[in-house]
Amino acid sequence: MFYANLAMSGLVQGLLLATLALSVSLCFSVAKFTNAATGDFMTVGAYVVVAIQAVTGGSLMLGVLGSCIVTALISLLAYWLLFRHLAHVSPIMSLVASVGLALFLRSVLSLFAGHEQYAIDYPIARAINFHGFLIVPIDLWVALASVALLALVFAVLYLTPIGLQVRALADNRDLARAAGIRSRGVMIVLWSLIGIVSAVGGTIIGIKTVVIPDIGWNLLLPGFAAAILGGLGNPLGAVIAAILLGICQELSTPMVGFVYKTIFSFAVLIAVLIWKPEGLFGRVEQVR
């Protein structure tokens, strides 16, 4: 039961990273750069929930909906004002610009909200005990929200005409354009999705932790690791990799201790990439 509880802890850890990894992977799949502002989009999402809860008297549902709208708008604005202009130059330029955007978003949040911590209001409850196996109610909700979010993203990608266009652009940009697919419309859908995923991810992380300007940034590296492990540009791979990394990390604690568990997960990442450079679910041509 001890290891089952550790695995449960790892699953929760993985789900927290999964939304971030999904957002990173979505961006890379079509826009072809690693968005370092992903964590800060999530931070914005968490702050919007806090603000809406303060105004509405604590409605989490309204907070999440409002956060999805605001964060999607900010994500679209980032594309329109910044990344759109860098689409035809080296992806490194977009990466550097995203680092600048991350710093800008954090500074704006710090200026207006300060550095003190805020909390997302939700009913805190004791774990349900099944013969020693503990299930914390909020973790169930986190899992449900993550699954619902993944279902939404994959429904858009695989069940809608615009999703088909997104995948076509991700697969072969030139061929997609030759087939008449207009990248601007696809990009609007993509950046909206990135905003929504970030908003929900920020809410989940805000619920599990505290809302401070650095929460998203602090998780960016593990999120990147999961996206890379899953095969950059493969959203489903990113989610599975995040969960695997989370479970590996927590199950390693009896051997390596709690201080070095993060290092262990990065060691797993390195080992897998040596064995399979394209990531667990990546395709060889994606890393050429």
Residues that bind another protein (CB under 8 A): 2, 5-6, 8-10, 12-13, 16, 110-112, 114-119, 124-127, 129, 134, 136, 138, 205, 208-210, 212-214, 218-219, 250, 253, 257-259, 261-262
Query: How is residue 1 written in tokens?
Result: 């039961």
192 alpha-carbon distance from chain centroid: 13
118: β partners: 211
Note the residue count of the chain. 288
Asked whether the CA dihedral 86, 87, 91, 95 is positive or negative, the reply is positive
* Separation CA 19–CA 12 (nearest Å): 12
Give least dist CB 233 to another protein, A: 25
Give least dist CB 125 to another protein, A: 7
* Separation CA 1–CA 49 (nearest Å): 36
Give least dist CB 116 to another protein, A: 6
First-to-final CA distance of the chain: 44
Give least dist CB 179 to another protein, A: 42
* Separation CA 149–CA 211 (nearest Å): 21
Closest CA to 242 of 269, 223, 256, 267: 223
Q: Which is nearer to another protein, 54 or 81 (CB)?
A: 54
E-only strand ranges, the chain? 128-130, 133-135
Q: Which is nearer to another protein, 49 or 186 (CB)?
A: 49
Q: Which is nearer to another protein, 14 or 279 (CB)?
A: 14
Q: Which is nearer to another protein, 209 or 286 (CB)?
A: 209
* Separation CA 180–CA 167 (nearest Å): 14
Give least dist CB 84 to another protein, A: 31
Q: Which is nearer to another protein, 5 or 286 (CB)?
A: 5
Give least dist CB 48 to another protein, A: 18
Q: Which is nearer to another protein, 176 or 199 (CB)?
A: 199
* Separation CA 271–CA 22 (nearest Å): 22
Q: Which is nearer to another protein, 4 or 175 (CB)?
A: 4
Q: Write down the residue that tokens 């509405």 correspond to.
A: 56
Cβ burial, residue 267 (10 Å; 0-12/13-18/19+): middle
Give least dist CB 96 to another protein, A: 21
